[in-house]
Amino acid sequence: MFEAFLIAAALAAAPAPAGAQGAAKPAAAAEPAPKPVASADLKDASGASVGTATIFEGPGGLLMRIEASGIPSGWHGVHFHEKGVCTGPDFASAGAHIKAGDHLHGLLNPKGHEAGDLPNLFADGGGRVEMAVWSNSVSIKGAEGRPALLDADGSAVVIHANPDDQHNQPTGNSGGRIVCGVLKAAG
C-alpha cells in the first residue's frame, strides 16, 4: 500500500509532457439561457399574487418552475387545468385536469395518467415554494400530439389544499383549489 502511495505521489510530482505546460484550453462558449415560453401569475382565493409559474420548452416536453410564498406549509397537489380562467374563491372556472385519451388521474395509476398530472409540491414552514418539474405529457401548442397549454381556451396551473395521492379519482384527494394562475404566452 505504501508503494502505491509513493507511485501516485511520484506521478503527481512528475513534470508535464513537453508542450503541455502553460497550454490553456480555450473556454467553451456559454450557451444562451433558455427563454420562457409561457408564465402565470399565481393568485390566492382573495386575488392576491402569491408567486409565478414559468414554463420553458425543451425537447419532448416542458419544464415548469414555480416560485411562491404564502402557501400553507406541507405537501400540495399541483396540476395543469383545462381552462385559462381563474375566478375565485374556488377556481372551479379552471375546469378539470388536462386529459389525453382515456387515461385516469394519478402519476401512479397503472392505466396511465392524465396529461395535467404533476408531482406534489412542498411549501416550507414559512410558506415558500421553489419547484422545478418536467412534463412530457403536455406542450405549448400541441407538439407531437400532446395537449396544448395555449389552445383556444387556454389552461391554468392550480395548487390544491392537500397532497395528491396520485391514484384516487378524480383528483387524488388533493382537496380544494387554493391558488390558480392563467398561463399566457411569454411576451
9 in a structural domain: no
Asked if residue 20 belongs to a domain, the reply is no
* Omega within 30 of 0 (cis) for the link into 170: yes
Residue 31 covered by a domain:
no
Say what the pLDDT of residue 21 is. 55
Q: Is 70 exceeded by the pLDDT of residue 142?
A: yes
- Overall domain count for the chain: 1
pLDDT (0 to 100) of residue 23: 57
Q: What is the pLDDT of residues 16-67, one digit of tens each?
A: 445 555 556 677 778 888 899 999 999 999 999 999 999 999 999 999 999 9
Rounded CA separation 41/177 (Å):
15
2 occurs within a structural domain? no
What would the 3-class secondary structure string for 105-141 be? CCCCCCCCECCCECCCEEECCCCCEEEEEEECCCECC
Residue 95 contacts residue 81 (beta carbons within 8 Å): yes
Higher pLDDT, 32 or 140: 140
Listed in sequence order, the DSSP H helices in the chain are 2-13
> Does residue 163 belong to any structural domain of this protein?
yes
The answer to whether residue 72 sits within a structural domain is: yes
Question: In the prediction, which pLDDT does 32 show?
Answer: 83
- Does the residue 33 lie in any domain? no
Tens-digit pLDDT profile for residues 112-128: 899 999 999 999 999 99
Q: Does 16 fall in a domain?
A: no
What does the DSSP 8-state code read for residue 143?
A: G
Range of the domain at 147: 38-185
CATH number at residue 126: 2.60.40.200
Tens-place pLDDT, residues 72-113: 999 999 999 999 999 999 999 999 999 988 888 889 988 889
Kindly tell me if the per-residue pLDDT of 148 is higher than 50.
yes
